[in-house]
Structure 1
Amino acid sequence: MAIVKRRRSAPLDRDLTDALAVPAREWRAPTVDMARVNAEMGALWAALGQRAEGTGQPVQDPTAPVAGRDDGHESGRGVHTAQLMTRSSTVNVVAVARSPREAERLERAIVGLPDFQPARVILLILNESQPEGDDAFTIRASILEQPAAKHRSTIRFEMITVEVNPSMAEDFASVASPLLVSELADYLWWPGDGIVPSSIFRNLAEIMDDVIVDTASLSRMRESLPAIRALTTSRSRCPRVSDFVWQRLTIWRQLVAQFFDSPTTRHALNTITDVDIVYAPANERGTSGFSAALLVAGWLVGSLGWVPTGPIERTRTGYRLPLSTQPDDRSVVNAVIRLRPHYDSNFADGLGAITLRTGGPHSGTFSVARTSASDLTTSSNSRDLPHVSRVVLAPIPSDAELLGVALDEGGWDKVYELALDLASRWAAPDRGTT
């Protein structure tokens, strides 16, 4: 079983305060003029500096260069308050909202980032009711301020919002590129559906260092998962991909792996015969736990070295994947993974339960189930050990927490890439399933 690294998150008892828009300017124009945007942003920083002079709190424009980091990123830029550099190096984030309603969700996450604030956010809002012509683009430049807390001083960062009719946004990559602060890593956050056949996604992904997605939101799983997988298998291996679903699965994978940490149960890994994965069906927003179920199945198959013996099969209650635990002999079907949708309000748009059954002299049952919006319950019962059950505090993380982790801990994840590779093949059986 692969080792699962627990990602950091904000302490549960932390008093988080959303970032506030300090000054802002808004205008309409037929195009997005980089010179106008930079001039307006410069005026905002100047106004903020004048305000700070009256309070005795010096403010420095975050476009002033500062010392670089030693973690592989290029020299970055920081925000200074009271002579203290509060962010030595940050990133650019380009976020795409496919409706004004989705834009509200993105803005809530951005202003609620707990521990990591980007240097500049460029938010594209696709709005069908936005006019075309001379007023095609509504542009808003603002400076957001995260108030000081015990563990850090005040942090300020920039947000540029561009609202436009989708028909005018096909080449948004050429608009966003000049607005990115140079020498910083560039992240694309695409939180919703529409990856395929969107030219906006494709063009933006080509100029980014990292792409952040939420595969729970994909309605066209058959086309979208292979498209995301293609990003990880490109010759340049750039951009890197982060998936909110994979982050939500961290605690699930950790708890499953813990069942077999003990020498007493470790040998039971070789006798697993059945795996049942219960997931949330699609809701009214189109989100579901299907990608989570596929990724967990991919993680188990990849980690244990199992081999699919045939295509994933549609059944009356869900899906069935026949497997061989002997990589050299695909003719032997001695394990099965079943995926089953089931509605429960506690599942949100993720997993409901994972149950593993072992056979032979080490027969037993090991399960993890979501029993409330904030708790997971683990249960194990085998010949080698008495029945054990425990409740684990595991609230579903917010968009702000997930985005913060993706920005702070971006990088290639080979375990995720293998799970995604298998999941994409099962989601699109005509493209190969073994």
Structure 2
Amino acid sequence: MNSRGEFSSRIGFILAAAGSAVGLGNIWGFPTQVASNGGAAFVLVYIILAFVLAYPVLMAELIIGRATRSNMVDALGQISGSKVGRATGIWGFITVSLILAFYSLVAGWMLAYFLQTLSSMAGLTVVSDWLTAPSQTRDIIFCGVFLSLTAGIVTGGVSKGIERWSVRLMPTLVIIVLLLIGYVSMQDGAVEGWKAYLVPDFSRIMEPSLLISAMGQAFFSMSLGVGTMLVYGSYVSKKENLPALGAYVALVDIGVAILAGMLIIPAMYVALHNGVQIFSESGALIEGDSLIFTVLPALFDSMGVIGVFVACAFFALMVIAALTSSISMLEVPVAYVVESKGVGRKRAVWLLTLSVFIISSVIAINMAELFGLVIMLTTKYSQPLLGLVLCIFVGWVWRRDAILAELKHGNEGAEHGLFWKIWPWYVKFVCPVIIIIMFYRSVAL
């Protein structure tokens, strides 16, 4: 058995786990969902659901991880005592690898746009044009570069790789967001964006579509169901109070999502003021890749000379957000191959990175057919179902005394606390029902 790493500090774990949760979805998905679903009313519902739904599942993953000190496959095999658990772990292994495959393509685009700002500053027009023109060659090259950056960090292990870089990248991400918020807020049109983001429309608070959107955002933004938090939990010291640690992670993730909204929505209204189209034909705010690669670059262009520097900071932010998530995704299969198959860490990292790169390349070559399909299969179907199975294992299969014994490691009086009075039955009865309803609505709608 390989000796396992461990996070050397509480802040190291919090920043690494929050970094895993804080990804591109927080920055391009959350803000436009807020503005399209009743402004601050959506933020309120999202915060409530993040703790009502996402936090209990996050805790399930952290407790399983620390109790078993194992990768996802072995951990679920241990607590279930059956091959069903191991099969679920392998399902998670495959899902997270596929998510990383499409995610690294998107991150590669961010990297290309970041380098385009630098080439633009240097006056390299031909290079700039190539970097922003969609092509299979560009997509595959930058996907490979991004995966290599991810692999370079993960080869360092837990404390010297993941933790060291998370402690550097996460504060950098927050500083860039705050600087950009400050600059954008001083531009004409920003006030309208702040109103769209912060003024609540409480008449919409019970709309089914708003509730489903907020539920989905809360669940997926914390990267639950695919084993990232389970594996990170397995590297947490036995001295730590897990419920408090999980709450810190949830709060940082929510905080960054809200900060992203403070940047993106005012920026969109500044773009509108500058003559850029920010609404689709249906009247909804443009979101996703169209927002990042069409609306915002048009805004940066309208800013004149300063726009290149703002664009550079923005795409640096996007690359950092992508990287903090990708390192946690790669660690899930790496932990399994290192611990269960006895492969050296460095070799395992590069073998798995190459495998993911091959899948990414196949997607890039068949973009129209595969890109949307892989996203739908992994995030819409596989992720919530994995979350459901995790709740069933923790609520119905794993022995209650074993769970309490694990919680007592960081908190002697755990059984007398509010967490233990609510969480066990909540994750047993309430979470599965909410996830089933969410899954049915997202598939049926």
**Structure with more of its chain in strand, by fraction:** 1
Report the TM-score range of the alignment, normalised by the length of the smaller protein: under 0.3
Larger helix proportion, structure 1 or 2?
Answer: 2
Q: Which has the larger radius of gyration?
A: 1
- For CA contacts below 8 A with separation 6 or more, give which structure has more relative contact order: 2
The alignment's TM-score, normalised by the length of structure 1, stands at 0.20
